[in-house]
Each structure stands twice: as structure tokens, then as C-alpha cells.
Amino acid sequence: MSDMNNYFTYIEQFSKTIDTLATFRHGEIYYTAEDIPIFHFLPFPELSFFEVYVWYNSVCNMVITYEEFVKKNLK
């Protein structure tokens, strides 16, 4: 995923899927992760954004400072 717009599209679609599942009477979601799941950070926007930055750098092998990442993606 070389473009943050793709990531944001993924997150938006994921959110819609979760909203749909929430309408089911006996809906369940099983989630497995090595790290603390990102939704635990959602009450803390700065920490959430930093988690996305770390993930993005590791997945995309991008060399970008956090400050550059914020300027480029936080609007």
C-alpha cells in the first residue's frame, strides 16, 4: 500500500463493515493481532496517527520522518 489514500479507503470500508455487523442481533467479530489493536488507541488521535505512521513505514519501507508524515497526511 504505497499511497495513504488507499489506506484511508481501507479504513473507511472497514468502518462500514463494522457498522453493518453491529446491526446483527448475534453478530460476532474475532480479531487476532500481535500488537495492541488500533481501535484501543482511537480515543487518542495523536497516538492513533503515530501508530498509523509506524505501520505505514514498516509495510511500505518508506523513509520519512514523523513530522513529514504528519504534514503530508494530516489535513
pTM over 0.75: no
- In angstroms, the CA 25 to CA 16 distance is 17
- Asked whether residue 22 carries a pLDDT value surpassing 80, the answer given is yes
Residue linked to cell 488521535: 45
- In angstroms, the CA 13 to CA 7 distance is 10
What's residue 2's pLDDT? Answer: 58
- In angstroms, the CA 45 to CA 13 distance is 19
- In angstroms, the CA 15 to CA 9 distance is 10
Residue linked to cell 482511537: 42
